[in-house]
């Protein structure tokens, strides 16, 4: 009797186990830092924030993959591991390091086809690619687009406003900061190719515009000059 090899589909139980591993890995990465670690004072250099970002990207990447016909299992697992090394490795190598960790995890658990492991690791390694998305697989494109989209909209706005405190800005500077979110979001989404991602981006940028107009209407000392970025 031969050994039964499981399909590439990842069960809910296996995915939950992966999530726990990623969460614990991020927490250990921060705890092991000396003298507070690089950029430790920034709120996004934080295990809780990074894990939340990863979960956001998992949801977005899964939605894009389902609508665009990519391999959903590959995309959701790659999305879960894509930033696992973000808190311990330099930005330039965190994707390769994340692929290494993903490979060690998936091969040590056993049962996953080698082709599935290789595809997941390739997507993780390629998620920082800055060239045209037409050059990468549909699975990698789904992850890159999801990673971009998590910085667009409400989440990007909240982070920008949080940054105001570190820059000793007042609430009257909020419109300028939200303008930055909108412009950066618009610039970032120029890379997006898929219909699914474009739809999500449009909805998110529209909400940023609404928030900017809400601020302008209610904060009396705010500069009401017309902004080219939002009109």
What string of DSSP letters covers 149-213? HTTSSHHHHHHHHHHHHHTT--GGGHHHHHHHHHHHHHHHGGG--SHHHHHHHHHHHHHHHHHHH
Task: Give the number of other Cβ atoms within 10 Å of residue 124's Cβ.
Answer: 30
Block residue for tokens 């105001």: 164
Rounded to an integer, the average pLDDT of 49-68 is 95
146-201 tens-digit pLDDT = 999 998 887 777 777 776 666 656 666 777 777 777 888 888 888 899 999 999 99
Whether 105 has a pLDDT exceeding 80, the answer reads yes
Domains of the chain: 12-134 (1.10.3210.10), 154-218 (no CATH)
Rounded to an integer, the average pLDDT of 102-106 is 97
Whether 29 has a pLDDT exceeding 90, the answer reads no
Whether 21 has a pLDDT exceeding 90, the answer reads yes
Pick 6 or 167 by higher pLDDT: 167
Taking all residues of the chain, what is their mean pLDDT, rounded to a whole number? 83
CB 174 within 8 A of CB 84: no
CB 90 within 8 A of CB 110: no
């Amino acid at each position: 009797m031969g050994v039964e090899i499981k399909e590439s589909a990842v069960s809910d139980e296996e995915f939950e186990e992966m999530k726990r591993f990623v969460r614990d890995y991020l927490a250990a990465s921060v705890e092991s830092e000396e003298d507070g670690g690089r950029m430790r004072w920034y709120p996004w250099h934080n295990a809780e924030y990074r894990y939340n970002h990863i979960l956001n990207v998992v949801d977005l990447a899964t939605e894009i993959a389902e609508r665009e016909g990519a391999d959903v299992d590959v995309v959701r697992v790659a999305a879960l591991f894509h930033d696992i090394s973000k808190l311990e490795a330099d930005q330039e190598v965190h994707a390769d390091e994340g692929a290494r960790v993903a490979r060690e995890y998936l091969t040590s658990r056993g049962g996953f086809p080698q082709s599935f492991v290789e595809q997941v690791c390739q997507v993780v390694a390629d998620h920082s690619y800055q060239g045209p998305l037409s050059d990468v697989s549909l699975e990698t494109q789904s992850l890159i687009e999801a990673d971009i989209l998590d910085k667009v909209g409400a989440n990007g706005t909240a982070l920008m406003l949080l940054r105001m405190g570190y820059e000793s800005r007042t609430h009257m500077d909020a419109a300028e900061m939200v303008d930055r979110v909108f412009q950066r979001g618009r610039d970032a989404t120029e890379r997006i190719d898929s219909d699914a991602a474009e739809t999500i981006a449009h909805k998110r940028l529209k909400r940023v515009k609404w928030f900017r107009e809400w601020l302008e209407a209610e904060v009396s000392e705010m500069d009401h000059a017309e902004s080219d970025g939002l009109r």
